Amino acid sequence: MEHQENGQNTISTRQPKEDMVGRCREFHEIQQHIQRDNVPVVLLTGGPGFGKTTLAKAVARELARPENKVTVLFCSLVSKKTFREAVIEMVNSCTQGTVQLTEKPDQWLKEWSRQIQTRFTFVLDNADDVLMSDERDKFLSLLKAVRESSGRKGTFLITSRVEFRCTVLPSKVVSLGPLSLDEAIRLLLSRVVDEKIRGNLCQTEKITRLCGYAPLALCISGSLLAENSFTEDSLIEGLQQKPMIVLEQGSESVQMAIETSFHRLKGDQQDALVVLSIFPDTFDEAAAKVVIPGDCCRESLPVSVLDFLKTTSLVDELSQSGRYQLHPLIRSFVKRVGQNRSDLLKEAEQRACSFFMSRLCENSKMFWEKDASKGSLESFQEERHNFEHFLKVYAKGMKSRNQNIINNCKEFLDKFLETCWYLQMCLSPSSYVQFLVTMLESFADCAESDAVHRIELMCLLGHEIRKQSQKEKSAEYFEGANSLYSKNSSAFEKNAMSEVFFINSYSDFLSKSGNPHLNAQVLKWSQRALKICKERLVEDHPEKAEALLLAGRFTKRMINHPRTDELEMRSRAKQNLLEALDLYRKRLGKHPMTVRALKETGDFFLNFDPERAFTHYKEAEEMAKQIAMDNSKEITHLLKNYGSCEMKRGNYAEAKEKLERAMHVAMREFDADHIWKVKIKTAQAFLLEEMQQLKKSKQLMREAIEMCSRLRFPLLKLPNSVYISHFLKRYPKDFPEYVVLR
């Protein structure tokens, strides 16, 4: 504790009591402030259930120790809405209610302060009502008068959910936010005294997260575990499904704490808080303005309503970043309240959906401008949670034919294909596929005019499903798209880009089937795509570069086919790939598509000119870093082949680093079993064999084979199946099943 010693202020190292677990820093900060002569008021703020009263009582107990020679007066101002009610409570704390109050209790309090000989501190707990009333300035002026009458011996510790700056008295604000993870776990476990129960807990991190790191919720959860009222699993399930019911124990209730704050709001302020619950996480001021109802603005702008909710600790601003969020438990509470205000929430959700779909269109447009992809991808990351959430709202609205969403999000549909290409770069594979599936369902019974969108979606889905090794389902999508195209080819007369996209997609599907009898058909489709590009698309259109890239890739596959001129095929493939790369560079600059073209060109040189392949891979990786896509799922393709290239060049350490990075990204971005993980693992196995680390090499090959089996993907269909076969034959005792590859 702070005390006077030889004219110097010193701080005791005595730790707060056990009930202060998690708030030691704030405890000492308040102690320091409140015993300084130049800090008359310490305002302790924070959201409901964040421990303001608990902390204030702990400070009061510490101050009241005899050695501190401080008179501590604790006043609960709950429901004290007027100046007179609040002052009477303060007088009662001085007298234990033993004096006859005059008509002017404030005069009594001033007189009392003149007579007191010791230092004193009023702890004014839950002062929200009087501080939010019209008499706030009058109340604060009284505190100033009491301090001056006492000869500056008096100080005040005020707890309130309302943050304000005291203009008549110097003050310090101590804000209580959510606890850190370590503090939250310590507080949770402090309520579980039984060592046996504590020893069996293994999901404390998940429980603290579901409690939103809020002290009251953590204390209740710890008590429930201590009493064996819940197992860890049942508590987690309860916190996920019905947190307000679970977090209620005797006189302690998270819902009651939040409800008290909520009912202090006016009706339009309550409506504003309810609609903000539609955001799944953080949001900015522009989004808030869109969803807060217009009638909340009778006396002020929506942003003023947002500021008010922030000052009442019901909305948090994140480090002056201009972004806001509702605490998860507050969001859970107002969502329950919102069940009785469904029309209000529905309208807000539709406005937000239109707002974020418009933002996505702006991001997508930026993405396809030269050297602008980095800003577009970073903008998506900042709002990822909102984009992902409202994409689902949009897709469901389209499926249910919601006219408000259809009419207000028309721009999104007008630029649908370009935006989907952009989303493929941004979303996780599972989220992207789910969006495409729902959108395809929304066009199930649509008119012939929407056939173009159905074909686009079938091709997009076919491409994504193929990555997941669902070849039969992928083939269904592509063949369905081809069938629909043959019946509705006239619908593409004004949609040249969509037609080229379909042709590119379908020819790529045919070329990857591995059937040499389809080569002539693939070549025909490819030439048709290039013809449409030349006649109906602008010269530097990105889809023309894509057509050239696919033509180069297909021709490269023809190099080793019988009845083809190897030199001619190689020359044509090289020409197409370099022309595509040049077009991407000129049209898009530093861009994911340029990175992809560099990777494809590197792949072309990989097997016969590793040094030239290295040059393209190196440039691709450097460009990926420059545009902040070096940790995206798309980078796995590049890193895997770059690693193989380094192995061919004899640079084993660099090869290992590239392959490990590829696997790190794949583990984060892809499903537990994925064909790209198989490809990376086999490449790692080959490398470790070269490095004489045979045990690990065989282990990785075994893992790849087992994953391939779970995916029901034949090893013979892998691009490097010949090398895999040779590897297995080298170790017949370890892989007796190698005969399947003979």
Q: CA-CA distance, 533 to 544, in Å (whole number)?
A: 6
| Terminal C-alpha separation, the chain | 80
Q: Are 124 and 154 in contact, with CB atoms under 8 Å apart?
A: no
Residues whose CB is less than 8 angstroms from the CB of residue 219 and which lie 6 or more positions away in sequence, other chains included: 187, 191, 252
Q: CA-CA distance, 110 to 144, in Å (whole number)?
A: 10
pLDDT of residue 99: 66
Distances (CA, A) of 580 to 18, 466, 482: 68, 24, 26
Cα 655 to chain centroid, rounded: 32
DSSP states of 344-408: HHHHHHHHHHHHHHHHHHHHHHHHTSTT-HHHHHHHHHHTHHHHHHHHHHHHHHHHTT-HHHHHH
Q: Are 730 and 740 in contact, with CB atoms under 8 Å apart?
A: no
Residues in the chain, total: 742
**Beta strands of 203-290 (E only): which ranges?**
248-249, 252-253, 283-284
Percent of the chain with pLDDT over 90: 68
Strand order in the sheet with 316-317: 283-284, 323-325, 316-317
Beta bridge mates, 173: 43
Instruction: Give the residue from 684, 691, 698 showing the smallest Cα distance to 727.
Output: 698
Q: CA-CA distance, 529 to 289, in Å (whole number)?
A: 46
pTM of the shown model: 0.84
Q: Are 737 and 729 in contact, with CB atoms under 8 Å apart?
A: no
pLDDT tens column, 181-227? 999 999 999 999 888 888 889 999 999 999 999 999 999 999 999 98
Residue 301: is its pLDDT beyond 60?
no
Q: How deeply is 447 buried, as exposed, middle or buried, from its count of CB atoms within 10 A (0-12, 13-18, 19+)?
A: exposed
The helix (run of H) or strand (run of E) holding residue 336 is: helix 328-338
Label residues 251-282 b or e (16+ Cβ within 10 Å = b): eebbbebbebbbebbeebbbbbbbbbbbbeeb
| Pair of tokens at residue 173 | 């604000």
Q: CA-CA distance, 120 to 122, in Å (whole number)?
A: 7
Residues whose CB is less than 8 angstroms from the CB of residue 267 and which lie 6 or more positions away in sequence, other chains included: none
Distances (CA, A) of 554 to 224, 570, 573, 577, 640: 64, 11, 8, 10, 21
Q: CA-CA distance, 113 to 737, in Å (whole number)?
A: 93
Tell me: domain 599-741, CATH 3.40.50.2000, correct?
A: no
Residues whose CB is less than 8 angstroms from the CB of residue 514 and which lie 6 or more positions away in sequence, other chains included: 717
Residue 158 vs residue 558, higher pLDDT: 158
pLDDT of residue 164: 79
Q: What is the DSSP letter of 449?
A: G
The helix (run of H) or strand (run of E) holding residue 8 is: strand 8-10
Predicted confidence band of residue 3 (pLDDT cuts 50, 70, 90): very low
For the chain, give every domain's residue range.
3-176, 181-250, 257-340, 342-442, 599-741
pLDDT of residue 742: 43
Q: How deeply is 490 buried, as exposed, middle or buried, from its count of CB atoms within 10 A (0-12, 13-18, 19+)?
A: exposed
Q: CA-CA distance, 197 to 579, in Å (whole number)?
A: 67
Q: Are 537 and 544 in contact, with CB atoms under 8 Å apart?
A: yes
Residue 4: is its pLDDT beyond 60?
no
Residue 561: is its pLDDT beyond 80?
no
Residue 621 identity (one-letter amino acid):
E
The helix (run of H) or strand (run of E) holding residue 174 is: strand 171-176
Distances (CA, A) of 518 to 208, 490, 523: 58, 25, 9
Q: What is the mean pLDDT of residues 600-619?
A: 95
pLDDT tens column, 241-263? 999 999 987 778 999 999 989 99
Residue 740: is its pLDDT beyond 80?
no
Angle at 249 between CA 245 and CA 253, to 5 degrees: 65
Instruction: Give the residue from 357, 437, 341 showing the smallest Cα distance to 389.
Output: 357
Q: What is the mean pLDDT of residues 593-615?
A: 95
Q: How deeply is 739 buried, as exposed, middle or buried, from its count of CB atoms within 10 A (0-12, 13-18, 19+)?
A: exposed
Q: CA-CA distance, 391 to 427, in Å (whole number)?
A: 11
pLDDT of residue 14: 43
Q: Are 521 and 567 in contact, with CB atoms under 8 Å apart?
A: no
pLDDT tens column, 473-529? 999 999 999 999 999 888 898 899 999 999 999 999 998 887 777 888 888 898 899
| Pair of tokens at residue 286 | 């522009």
Q: CA-CA distance, 596 to 545, in Å (whole number)?
A: 11
Among 98-102, 131-135, 697-701, name the one with the lowest average pLDDT.
Answer: 98-102
Cα 328 to chain centroid, rounded: 14
Distances (CA, A) of 612 to 118, 204, 364, 547, 607: 85, 53, 33, 23, 10
Contacts 24+ apart (CB under 8 A), 217-221: 217/49, 217/243, 217/247, 217/254, 217/329, 218/22, 218/179, 218/184, 218/187, 218/188, 218/191, 219/187, 219/191, 219/252, 220/246, 220/247, 220/248, 220/249, 220/252, 220/254, 221/188, 221/191, 221/246, 221/247
pLDDT of residue 15: 43
Q: CA-CA distance, 364 to 465, in Å (whole number)?
A: 23
Residues whose CB is less than 8 angstroms from the CB of residue 358 and which lie 6 or more positions away in sequence, other chains included: 409, 411, 412
Q: Are 189 and 203 in contact, with CB atoms under 8 Å apart?
A: no
DSSP states of 577-633: HHHHHHHHHHHHSSSHHHHHHHHHHHHHHHTT-HHHHHHHHHHHHHHHHHTT-TTST
Residue 593 vs residue 493, higher pLDDT: 593
pLDDT of residue 271: 93
Strand order in the sheet with 171-176: 70-76, 119-125, 154-159, 41-46, 171-176
Residues whose CB is less than 8 angstroms from the CB of residue 586 and which lie 6 or more positions away in sequence, other chains included: 540
Distances (CA, A) of 701 to 166, 177, 665, 683, 696: 69, 49, 19, 9, 9
Distances (CA, A) of 441 to 201, 395, 396, 398: 44, 9, 9, 9
Q: CA-CA distance, 317 to 323, in Å (whole number)?
A: 6
Q: What is the mean pLDDT of residues 438-452?
A: 82
Predicted confidence band of residue 738 (pLDDT cuts 50, 70, 90): low
Structural class in CATH, domain 3-176: alpha beta
pLDDT of residue 9: 30
Q: What is the DSSP letter of 715?
A: G
pLDDT of residue 634: 85
CATH architecture, range 257-340: Orthogonal Bundle (1.10)
Q: CA-CA distance, 386 to 145, in Å (whole number)?
A: 50
